[in-house]
Amino acid sequence: MSKIYSDNMLAEVRKGEEKWSKELDNILDQHPERLSRFSSVSDHPVNRIYTPDDVKDLDYEKDLGFPAQYPFTRGVQPSMYRGRLWTMRMFAGLGSARDTNKRFHLLVNEGQTGLSTAFDMPTLMGYDSDSPRARGECGKCGVAIDSLKDMEILFDGLPIDRITTSMTINPPAPIIWAMYIAMAEKRGINRSIIGGTIQNDMLKEFIAQKTFMCPPRPSMRLITDTVEFATKEIPRWNPISISGYHIREAGSTAVQELAFTLSDGITYVEAAMERGLDVDSFAPRLSFFFNSHLDFFEEIAKYRAARRMWARIMKERFKAKDPRSMWLRFHTQTAGCSLTAQQPYNNVVRTAIEALAAVLGGTQSLHTNSLDEVLAIPTEEAATIALRTQQIIAEESGVANTIDPLGGSFYIERLTRDMEEEAFEYIRKIDDMGGMVAAIERNYPQLEIADAAYKYQKQIDSKEKTVVGVNKYVTEEDLPVEVLQIEAELEENQIKWTNKVKDTRDNKKLKEALEKLGEATQRDDNLMYLIIDAVKEYATEQEICDVFREAFGIYRDPGVY
């Protein structure tokens, strides 16, 4: 036990606070505060001041410790950014594989240290560009990938043996990953040395982001296959990026983001352990992905609470022994939902504040949104400003020079504790329902988020919460920024190209590969090996997804609001 504050000191503080409050009351009659109630973006009440009395039980050793020491509140790496800065990883994807390849080269040349791929809607949902469901959507909000051929073009000339690649893909994640592995092997790069992340977090899809293919339970099987495969074959890969980002974008509070994300993580750990994997064999490769919204201190406390909670969950609930299993390593993206179409240059400022919170919260990698991202896919100029924002924080502001600089702040420590308690309460509630899969099946997290989103919207409409340029400081304006448009011929060209791939492959071998995969779905086999065989025969993404839809059924949106 190493309590920070003595009882004597706390008594003095309480006395002092009482005196100060009394004096303040006298002037508040004449000079009232700006608001009758102060609260965070998530509507968490905020006190006038925080003192040692608010964190009187804080135990340095038990609650904070040192970086890279349990419970990791202050960070997972021993020297944090003094050793190596976070990875600056900008999400990019547009049009064809060739277009996106060009953008990747630009970002790498500008100093970016990791790649991150955005796919178009048909690819995200497991449809090829020539599907009737893909009409009008090809290449619109990301890159269209139909087959291994597209994957080869996408990474052409990029040093994938040295650079790590993140791919935001969910229902078809095993297939897109298989294409990446096959592409690397065709280039003579051994699968054991490639590194990167697939998002592959279906639970938060059902909860928030909503790209669907099969129902929750078979989805868990596919995900567990990838975890097992990564553990055995691709040790440098993060097979799941357990994501709160989209939960927050869908309108959750910070605590809901924290609670639902960690609850999803618990579910993946349980599934892998049920598969027979030792917790310490796979848990070190689980990674996380959080949002950074505008409420500066709330976000910083959220990251600190997340690290401490995950460490406690892994140690106490799952009996992990390897400290790396207890590390919560995370990527952060600034909040797309905080950007405004009105006065879009203000978005640069919002993003800078959010990025700063992520860095003060100890993120391992960061995407900063571009000022025009609320309107369309970013232009090159806007994407460069967003990257420069990170570089200014990293190399000019000085905030990366010391570790967890806000640790010990009465407010931050109190908020960290409050968020941990409230999030654990949610997790207990979900456990009582039978876990996250059962909770999703009864639409529990979906409706909790819908409630929070509706409440927030009403607070904006009533001007209880300010959004500059939207409900305050409004100006008459036309769209002032240049917006990137995807040309209409793209869809036509991509369909032609994919049809050509289908015509020139060995369709007999392909059929055999797909049949073998279909049969294996009915057994307990790990499907990753057969998916890789199929993509090497140039099976398209949809052809493989259709095998899964046939075997496992299709999930449809319950449409609750």
Q: Which residues make up the interface to other proteins (CB under 8 A)? A: 121-122, 124-125, 127, 132-137, 140-141, 209-212, 249-251, 337, 340-342, 374-376, 450, 453-454, 457-458, 460-461, 467, 469-471, 478-479, 483, 485-486, 556-559, 561
CB of 171 to other proteins, least distance (A): 11
Which residue, 374 or 520, has its beta carbon nearer to other proteins? 374
Q: How many CB atoms lie within 10 A of CB 526?
A: 18
Which residue, 476 or 478, has its beta carbon nearer to other proteins? 478
286 touches 299 (CB < 8 A): no
Which residue, 205 or 404, has its beta carbon nearer to other proteins? 205
Which residue, 143 or 513, has its beta carbon nearer to other proteins? 143
Write phi, then psi, for 114 (nearest 5 degrees): -155, 155
198 pairs with which residues across the strands? Answer: 167
Which residue, 538 or 555, has its beta carbon nearer to other proteins? 555
Q: And the tokens for 24?
A: 């303040």
Contacts of 66 (CB under 8 A, 6+ apart): 74
- Give the separation between CA 466 and CA 30, rounded to whole angstroms: 25
Which residue, 459 or 499, has its beta carbon nearer to other proteins? 459
Q: And the tokens for 396?
A: 């000019």
Annotate 491-545 with DSSP letters as a single string.
Answer: HHHHHHHHHHHHHHS-HHHHHHHHHHHHHHHTSS--THHHHHHHHHTT--HHHHH
Of 424, 198, 233, nearest to 310 (Cα)? 424
- Give the separation between CA 207 and CA 260, rounded to whole angstroms: 9
Which residue, 383 or 467, has its beta carbon nearer to other proteins? 467
**Angle of helix 254-274 versus helix 410-433 axis, rounded to 10:** 50
Contacts of 519 (CB under 8 A, 6+ apart): none
Which residue, 170 or 363, has its beta carbon nearer to other proteins? 170
Of 266, 254, 170, 270, nearest to 214 (Cα)? 170
Q: How many CB atoms lie within 10 A of CB 462?
A: 9
Integer angstrom CA distances of residue 416 from 254, 309, 323, 419: 11, 10, 21, 5
Which residue, 136 or 159, has its beta carbon nearer to other proteins? 136
386 touches 329 (CB < 8 A): no
CB of 561 to other proteins, least distance (A): 4
CB of 395 to other proteins, least distance (A): 34
Output the CA torsion sign for 444, 448, 453, 454: positive
242 pairs with which residues across the strands? Answer: 288
SS3 197: strand
* 84 CB burial (10 A radius; 0-12, 13-18, 19+): exposed
Q: And the tokens for 450?
A: 């819908």
Write phi, then psi, for 92 (nearest 5 degrees): -145, 145
- Give the separation between CA 83 and CA 224, rounded to whole angstroms: 34
Which residue, 13 or 141, has its beta carbon nearer to other proteins? 141
Write phi, then psi, for 59 (nearest 5 degrees): -115, 115
Which residue, 136 or 157, has its beta carbon nearer to other proteins? 136
Q: What SS3 string covers 86-101?
A: CEEEEEECCECHHHHH
- Give the separation between CA 545 and CA 134, rounded to whole angstroms: 15
Which residue, 45 or 480, has its beta carbon nearer to other proteins? 480
170 touches 118 (CB < 8 A): no
Which residue, 449 or 531, has its beta carbon nearer to other proteins? 449
CB of 2 to other proteins, least distance (A): 44
Annotate 150-180 with DSSP letters as a single string.
Answer: HHHHHTTT--TTTSEEEE---TTHHHHHHHH
Which residue, 4 or 374, has its beta carbon nearer to other proteins? 374
